[in-house]
Amino acid sequence: MQIKICDILYTLEDKKESNQNLLSILFTIKHTTNRTLSFRSGCKSGVCGSCAVVVNGVEKLACKTIVKDNDTITPLKNLQVIKDLVVDIKNKNLSLQKSHAQLQSKSKEIISIEDVKKIDRESNCILCNSCVSACPVYYLNPNFIDPFALMRTYRYVNDIKENNIITKLDAVQDNGIWDCTLCGNCNIVCPSNIDIKGDIEQLRNKSAQFGYNNPNINIGFDTNINFGFNPNNF
């Protein structure tokens, strides 16, 4: 079996390797073939998100992906490559800070099980950057707030413990929710099966409730337009 990693072709001689996950094979290659091969890993069980890479053009967790013959492995897109499969992930903290995606003003509300369920799915984000890599808007606009940061903003906007909703909504208006094309790429590659696209749509709805408007829509009305019908016959 052969796989290509960062334009280098590797031949796997052991038949057992064909049933191993990609992360295990990366370690094998590093220990036996190329000691300079660089990649990230952490929990090795799909929880930390550290080992996210692109397999045949699709973002995957290396620890959860079974390798097939002629697979092509490349680093995450839209992020600066440091070496081989290692990319610069400083965008995580920058985007979370920019979007105020954290608890800022804690309320004294009593939290119910139903309240927890409203934010439980979003709390499962493992910050793997797969959605960032798959996002066409982020590719064209590096100032675009990361999809995961928008999703986490929704998590806190929907959190009954948070009193300061306006600050969060205000932070995601520019280069944020209205710039998203709702293509759904983020949903497809999310290893936690979070509906990021849906959360961004909900953020738009919540923003509208608080008086924000989509700047991409012209709501002006031209009174001089002739519609070809005059009910008053003049």
Q: Please answer whether residues 156 and 102 qualify as being in contact, where contact means their C-beta atoms are separated by less than 8 angstroms.
A: yes
Residue whose token pair is 């890993």: 41
Q: For position 227, what pLDDT does the model report?
A: 41
Say what percent of the chain tops pLDDT 90.
71
* CA–CA dist 32, 10 (Å, integer): 11
Report phi then psi at 81, rounded to 5.
Answer: -85, 125
* CA–CA dist 41, 58 (Å, integer): 18
Mean pLDDT for the chain overall: 89
What residue spans define the domains of the chain? 2-87, 91-209
What band does 231 get if pLDDT is binned at 50, 70 and 90? very low
Q: For position 16, what pLDDT does the model report?
A: 62
> What architecture does CATH give domain 2-87?
Roll (3.10)
Instruction: Express each pLDDT in 142-163 by its tens digit.
Output: 899 999 999 999 999 999 898 8
- C-alpha distance from residue 84 to each of 31, 138, 153 (Å): 16, 21, 32
Helix residue spans in 47-184 (DSSP H)? 91-98, 113-120, 130-134, 136-140, 147-157, 165-171
CATH superfamily for 91-209 is Alpha-helical ferredoxin (1.10.1060.10)
Bridging pattern class, strands 71-74 and 58-61: unpaired
Q: For position 223, what pLDDT does the model report?
A: 46
What band does 224 get if pLDDT is binned at 50, 70 and 90? low
